[in-house]
Structure 1
C-alpha cells in the first residue's frame, strides 16, 4: 500500500469512528424523546404511579446525550471539508442543503428546547412543558429526516445532472427527497432507534426491579418498554423485508454480498439460506458453509425458486467487502430474532402476572439492554460497507472522494480522535452505569410546584 491508500483507509476509519459515536448518541435522543412524551403524558393526565420519577430519571440522560451528540456531530461534519473535500465539491449542491436544514431547523429546535424541558419543570405551566417535550421529540425526528435523506440519495441517487467537471446538480427541489430508498431507510432507522431505546429501558428497569422490587417507576418503565416492543419488533422485521426488496432493485451487489452467493443456484433450485459461511473474496467462494436449500428464495423473492444476481455477475472492482457485509447482516438479524423472543416471553409473563418475579427473564433483559444499539450499528455497517467502493452509488468512487492529505497529518488526526472518543465514551458509560444504579430523584418541591401551577391554571 502506498501513502494515498493509507490516507484513504485512515480517513474512512476516522469517519467510521466519529459516525459510529454520533449515530449511537443521535439514536438515543431520537428513541428516548417519544418515551419522555409518554412518561409525562401518563403523569399529567393518568397520574400513573412511577411516571413522574421515570420522566425525571431519563431527562438528565437525555440532556447529556443531546449535548455530547451535538459536539460529535460537529466533528463528523467537519470531515466533509477536511478529509472529503473532493466529495463535498462534487456533491455539495445536493448534500449541502440537507445538512443545512438539519442544523438550522432540527438541531437548534432540539437543542434550544431541551434546556427549557430540563429546567422548566415546575416553572412553566404543565401543559406548556408537555408541548415543549413534544417539540423536542419532533426536533429529533426532523434531524433524522434530513440526515437520512442525504444518506439515501448517496445510496440511490436520482433526478440530477452532472456537468463536465463532475459536479452534481439537483434537477429540482424534490431531488433532495426523491431517493427511492429514502422512505424505507427512514422508517427502518426510526423504528430501530425506538426499539433500541425500549430494550435499554427494559434492561435498566429490570435491573432496578431485581434490586428494588417495590420501585413503581421501574415497573412502569418495564411494562411500557416490553409492551411497545411486542408490536414494534415484528413491524421492524416487516419493514426490513420491504427495505430488502428495495435493495434488491437498486443495489443488487449489496444484497448479493449480504447473502454470500458467488454463483447462481442450479437450474430448478432456489436461493439457499446461508446460516454460516466464511466468504473468500479472492477465491470467490465460501468456506465452511452451512445452508438450508431454497429457503433464501422465500424471503428474497417470496417463492421457492426465485433467484437474485450472484456476486460473480458483477465486476470484481465494484464488489463491497463481502465478509464484513455478510457477518454484519447476520449479527443484526440474529439480535432482531432474540429481541422478538424476549418481547414475546416478557409479555407472556406479564399476562400471567409473573413478570416482576421471574428473575431469569429479568436478568435476560438486563443482558439484552444494549442489543438494539448493537443491531442498529451492525445494520449501519451493512448499509455503508455494502455501498463500497462508492460514496455516490455507481457514480463516484470513495477513492475519488478523499482529500490528498499528508499521511503524517492523518496518523496524528486519527490518533487524536481515537483517544478523545475512547476517553469520552468510557467516562460517559461509567457515568451512565453509576446513574442507573442510583436512587431515583426525589423532588417533592417540583411536584408541589407542578400541582400548584396546574390547579391555578
Structure 2
C-alpha cells in the first residue's frame, strides 16, 4: 500500500485540506467582522463628528487590510487542492458547486474589489458620502461572499435539488433547493454571528491590553472597549440560541453527527443524558470516565424528559465519524461560548456600576479571551466537517471515493511545504498585526496612507514621523 510516514494518501489529503482551511478560516472570520465594524465607525464619525470614531477607523483599517489580504491569498491556495487532491470530487459535484462558486466571484468578489480601494485610500480624496458607501459595500461584500460559500458547504451537508446523470455527476434540478438547502439558514446565521463575536473579542482584547497598561484616559481605547463589550453582550446570548437551533436542525438531517457530538455510543429509550465529559473509546463503542446529567440531554434536544434517542450502536462502523475529534471539538466550542456569555454579563455589570474602565480583572479576562473567537470557530469547523465523515456529500459521496489518483508521497511532500510556508508567511503577517495592535489609537492616527502626505510608518507616534524635508510631520487629519 502506498504510504508516506505510515499514512495513506487519503489521510494526508484530508490533513492537508484541514490545515489550509483552518488557517484560511481565521482571516475571513476577522475581515467579515472588521468590515462591519469599520462601517459602523465611519457612520458614527459622520453622524457625531467625534474624532474618537475617526481615530479608531484609521487604527483598525490597517489591520483589516492585512487580514483581508491574507484571507484572499490563503483562499486561493486552498482552492487549488480541488484540482490536485480532490479532482474526482470536483468532477462529480462541479455541475452544482461550480456555478455557486462563480456567483460568489461575480457578486461578492467584484463588489469588494470595486470598492476596496476607495475604502482604504479614498478618505480625503473622495467625498464623505462616497467613502461611506464604499466602506458599507465592502462590509456587504464580505457577508455576501460568506453567504455563497456557506451555501456550497451546506449543500454538501444537506444535499437536495439534484439528480444523478449516467456518469455519477450531481446535476442541478432546482437551484432554489440547492442554494436554500435545509441547513443553510442555520449555518449562515451561526457563522456570521461567530465572525462578529470573534471580532468583538479581538477588539475588546486589544482595548483591554491598553487599559491594563494605564491608557485609561485615551478616548479611543475607551470607545473601543465600550463598543466591544456592547457587541459581546448582544451577540454572545444570540449565538447560543442560534447554535441550539442549528443543533436541532443537525439532529433532523444528520443524526449520526449529533450522536458523535453528544458521545452517545448507546441508544437511550427512557431519557437522554447530557454527557458533560468523558473519554470516547470508538473501538470498544463506549465512553470512559463519564460525567453526565440524567435526562437533561433529552430536554436540550427537544426529546423531552422521558425521550429516546438512537446511539452509534445503530450505525454501521464504516458510517461512523471519528467520535473523539467531534466530541472534544464540540465541547471546546460550547465551553468558549459559555465563557463569552460570562464576559458579556460581567461587562454589563461593570458598565452599570461605573467600573467598565477601571475593573482590572475584567480587563485581564477580556485580554485572555481576545483570541477565543478564533479558537471557537476552528473548533466549530472541526465539529461540523469531521462530524460529516465518512461523507464528502452527506449520504451520497464518500470522501474516499472523491480523492484524486495521487500518491501518498506527493501529498505528503506538499503538506510539509504548506506547513513550512504558511508558518513563515502568515506568521510574519500575524506578527505585524500584533505589532500594530501594540500601540494605542493616538490623536494623530492615520490610515494606510495619510491624506495630507506620504506614507506613515505604522506603529510610531506621529511626532516621530519625518517628512522628506527632515522636519516633524504634522498630525494626520480630515481635510
- Pair 1:10 & 2:48 matched: no
Please tell me whether the aligned partners of residues 49 and 216 of structure 1 are also in contact (alpha carbons under 8 angstroms): no
**If each structure's helix is expressed as a fraction of its own residues, which one has the higher value?**
1
**1:236-255 matched pairs, under 5 angstroms:** 236-255=239-258
Q: Please report how far the alpha carbon of residue 302 of structure 1 lies from its aligned counterpart in structure 2 after TM superposition.
A: 5.5
Alignment correspondent of 1:350: 351
Q: Please report how far the alpha carbon of residue 48 of structure 1 lies from its aligned counterpart in structure 2 after TM superposition.
A: 3.1
Given candidates 51, 54, 57, the residue that maps to 2:56 is: 54
- Pair 1:341 & 2:336 matched: no
Task: Provide the rounded CA distance (Å) in 2 between the counterparts of 1:50 and 1:297.
Answer: 49
- Pair 1:273 & 2:301 matched: no
Alignment correspondent of 1:200: 202
Please tell me whether the aligned partners of residues 200 and 231 of structure 2 are also in contact (alpha carbons under 8 angstroms): yes
Q: Please report how far the alpha carbon of residue 175 of structure 1 lies from its aligned counterpart in structure 2 after TM superposition.
A: 3.6
Q: Please report how far the alpha carbon of residue 49 of structure 1 lies from its aligned counterpart in structure 2 after TM superposition.
A: 4.6
Give structure 2 stretches of 5+ with no counterpart.
453-474
Q: Deviations over 1:322-370 (max 9, x none)?
A: 0110000000000000000011101110111111111111011000001
Q: Please report how far the alpha carbon of residue 44 of structure 1 lies from its aligned counterpart in structure 2 after TM superposition.
A: 1.0
Q: Deviations over 1:98-153 (max 9, x none)?
A: 11111232123213422211110111111110110000001101100000000000
With 47-56 and 15-24 compared, the bigger mean Cα shift is at: 47-56
- Pair 1:377 & 2:378 matched: yes
Please tell me whether the aligned partners of residues 273 and 296 of structure 2 are also in contact (alpha carbons under 8 angstroms): yes
SS state at 1:50 partner = helix
Task: Provide the rounded CA distance (Å) in 2 between the counterparts of 1:378 and 1:287.
Answer: 22
Alignment correspondent of 1:119: 121
Alignment correspondent of 2:415: 414
**1:191-340 matched pairs, under 5 angstroms:** 191-211=193-213, 212-265=215-268, 267=269, 269-301=270-302, 303-340=304-341
SS state at 2:310 partner = coil
SS state at 1:271 partner = coil
SS state at 1:287 partner = strand
SS state at 2:48 partner = coil
Task: Provide the rounded CA distance (Å) in 1 between the counterparts of 2:33 and 2:229.
Answer: 14
Distance 1:313 1:220, change over 3 A: same
Please tell me whether the aligned partners of residues 49 and 220 of structure 1 are also in contact (alpha carbons under 8 angstroms): no
Please tell me whether the aligned partners of residues 210 and 440 of structure 2 are also in contact (alpha carbons under 8 angstroms): no
With 1-10 and 225-234 compared, the bigger mean Cα shift is at: 1-10
Alignment correspondent of 1:395: 396
Alignment correspondent of 1:368: 369
Task: Provide the rounded CA distance (Å) in 1 between the counterparts of 2:34 and 2:307.
Answer: 41
Q: Deviations over 1:391-448 (max 9, x none)?
A: 0001100000011112221122111111111112321221122111124352587499
Q: Deviations over 1:376-399 (max 9, x none)?
A: 110110010000001000110000
Q: Please report how far the alpha carbon of residue 61 of structure 1 lies from its aligned counterpart in structure 2 after TM superposition.
A: 0.9
Please tell me whether the aligned partners of residues 263 and 311 of structure 1 are also in contact (alpha carbons under 8 angstroms): yes
SS state at 1:274 partner = strand
Task: Provide the rounded CA distance (Å) in 2 between the counterparts of 1:304 and 1:35.
Answer: 43
Task: Provide the rounded CA distance (Å) in 2 between the counterparts of 1:258 and 1:373.
Answer: 20
Task: Provide the rounded CA distance (Å) in 2 between the counterparts of 1:365 and 1:282.
Answer: 41
Alignment correspondent of 2:434: 433
Please tell me whether the aligned partners of residues 63 and 115 of structure 1 are also in contact (alpha carbons under 8 angstroms): no
Task: Provide the rounded CA distance (Å) in 2 between the counterparts of 1:355 and 1:53.
Answer: 21
Please tell me whether the aligned partners of residues 295 and 306 of structure 2 are also in contact (alpha carbons under 8 angstroms): yes
Please tell me whether the aligned partners of residues 114 and 136 of structure 1 are also in contact (alpha carbons under 8 angstroms): yes
Task: Provide the rounded CA distance (Å) in 2 between the counterparts of 1:443 and 1:239.
Answer: 38
SS state at 1:387 partner = coil
TM-score w.r.t. structure 2 length?
Answer: 0.91
Task: Provide the rounded CA distance (Å) in 1 between the counterparts of 2:148 and 2:123.
Answer: 30
Q: Please report how far the alpha carbon of residue 320 of structure 1 lies from its aligned counterpart in structure 2 after TM superposition.
A: 0.4
- Pair 1:138 & 2:140 matched: yes
**1:81-230 matched pairs, under 5 angstroms:** 81-211=83-213, 212-230=215-233
Please tell me whether the aligned partners of residues 254 and 320 of structure 1 are also in contact (alpha carbons under 8 angstroms): yes
Residues paired across the two proteins, number: 450
Task: Provide the rounded CA distance (Å) in 1 between the counterparts of 2:22 and 2:125.
Answer: 37
RMSD over aligned Cα atoms: 1.7
